[in-house]
Structures are given as structure tokens and as C-alpha cells.
Amino acid sequence: MLRWSVTFFIIAIIAAVFGFGGIAASAAGIAKVLFFIFVVLFLLSLIFGRKRID
């Protein structure tokens, strides 16, 4: 998921360089949403991850 977020961020940067403002804003928005979903899932996996039984 983090890979997709970085991909959309790069697409947003390239689109902004070439002057496609709408596409850049959309790709940046998608990248932001995917990044926050990644952070939430990562934190949940840290909190509720596999617990060892010794």
C-alpha cells in the first residue's frame, strides 16, 4: 500500500510539472488517502499483532 501511495505521489509531481493541475490534485489526494490508510493499518498491526506465548 505504501508503494501505491508513492506511485500516485510521483504521478502527481509529474502531472504538476507538465501543467495538469486537475490530475495532479487527484493523484495527490489518492496518495494522501492511501498513505493514511497505510499508517492506520501499520499501527493496528503493531498493537494487535501476533503475541508470543513463552
pLDDT value of position 54:
63
pLDDT value of position 38:
93
CB neighbour list of residue 9: distance below 8 Å, 6 or more residues apart = 27, 28, 31
pLDDT value of position 17:
93
Separation between Cα atoms, residue 50 and residue 29, nearest integer Å: 32
Residue 51's pLDDT band (boundaries 50, 70, 90)? confident
Residue 2 pLDDT exceeds 90: no
pLDDT digits (tens, 9 = 90+) for 6-30: 898 999 999 999 999 898 999 999 9
Separation between Cα atoms, residue 50 and residue 42, nearest integer Å: 13
